[in-house]
Each structure stands twice: as C-alpha cells, then as structure tokens.
Amino acid sequence: MKFRKKPVVIEAVLWTGKNLKEVSNFLPVNGKWWMKDGSLLNVKEQFQPIIIETLEGEMQVSIGDWIIKGIKGEFYPCKPDIFKETYEFVQEN
C-alpha cells in the first residue's frame, strides 16, 4: 500500500545560533528547553545546539535545524534536508 502525506500547514523557525530571542518566542512559555551546555534559554546569543522537550523526550536542535510546531501544538526538530523535501513556503493573505 502507498500513502501520500496530507497537506497540512505548520509553523516553523530555523535555529541559526543567532536568533535565540525568535526561538524562545516561538517555543511555548510552559515548555522545557535549554542550551546544550545546560544553561537556561535567555536572550544572550549562543552558537550552540539547544535541547527541547518533545513528545518523544528531549531532542537536540543543532544550528541549521528547523523547529516545527505540529498540528497538535507539539514541537520537534527537523534536519534542513528533510524539511526542504517535506515542506514548501505558504504565502499568508
């Protein structure tokens, strides 16, 4: 059997290592995330991976990865090559 993924619009932000404020505004206030070195997220710019709490447990978001907000409000990282193959930009009206 073969299946096609349903078209679903998601929200996502790219972790560049320079956009910590954007990422912290994107992730849920009551969520759990921190810098890989163990420090809590703050507005200080950090060029390192971050760790986010996902439905599958703690996952690392490396610089260049996308953070996706799923259809049920869950968050998870996505490698850039998979993101490019799976998603396309949606122009908002």
With 60 as the cut, is the pLDDT of residue 42 above it?
Answer: no
pLDDT band at 30 (very low <50, low <70, confident <90, very high): low
Q: Both tokens of residue 32?
A: 């759990």
The chain-wide mean pLDDT, for the chain, equals 83
DSSP string, 11-74: EEEE--SS-HHHHHHHS-TTS-EEETTSPBP-SS---S-EEEEETTEEEEE-TT-EEEE-TTS-
> What is the residue type of 20?
L
Q: Write down the H helix ranges in the chain.
A: 20-26, 80-86
